[in-house]
Amino acid sequence: MNFKNSSFWIVAVIAVVFDQLTKRWVISVLDSWVMRTEKGAPTQPLIPGIFHFTYIQNTGAAWGIFSGEGWLRWLSLLVSVGLIAIALFGPVLSFWERLGFGFILGGAVGNGIDRFMLGYVIDFLHFKLIDFPVFNVADVSINAGLVCLLIGYFRSKPNPARR
């Protein structure tokens, strides 16, 4: 059986599973974390002052924008349905498109599960060195997907210097 865009589906499923497993792990170890941030969020330094696991319930989007907006769950669903439609009904995608759209779908579904089941997204990866906003594996997947799409775009674009 030859399933169209199969690596798209594999990447998406792996991204969702890894995202959800890491979030469940953070919740399971939360009670054992004794250190708290200045905002009261449980945190566990891996490299003190540089990288921490910090538990945050994010009701917004990236960097907490649109906090408390219920429509974000529907946006996650809409993006997911759109990507599924592209993979099912669109053409055979290039390697980089399959990876890119697969990662983006995995991230959208991972955060969408949180939004629908919990009403917020669990964020826990925190680069304190640059005080970067706390994020999660689904966010990493979405960004990895965008990088893959950019790589695919530039690799497929003819190079005028080669003429």
Of these residues, 31, 114, 123, 131, which one is catalytic?
A: 123
19 assigned to active site: no
Of these residues, 19, 31, 114, 139, which one is catalytic?
A: 139
What's the CA angle centered on 13, arms 7 and 16, to 5 degrees?
140
Contact 146, 108 (CB under 8 A): no
139 assigned to active site: yes
Q: What is the full DSSP assignment across 51-108? A: EEEEEEEE-SSGGGTTTT-THHHHHHHHHHHHHHHHHHHSPPPPHHHHHHHHHHHHHH
> Residue 36: which residues within 8 A CB-CB, separation 6 or more?
42, 43
Catalytic center residues: 123, 139
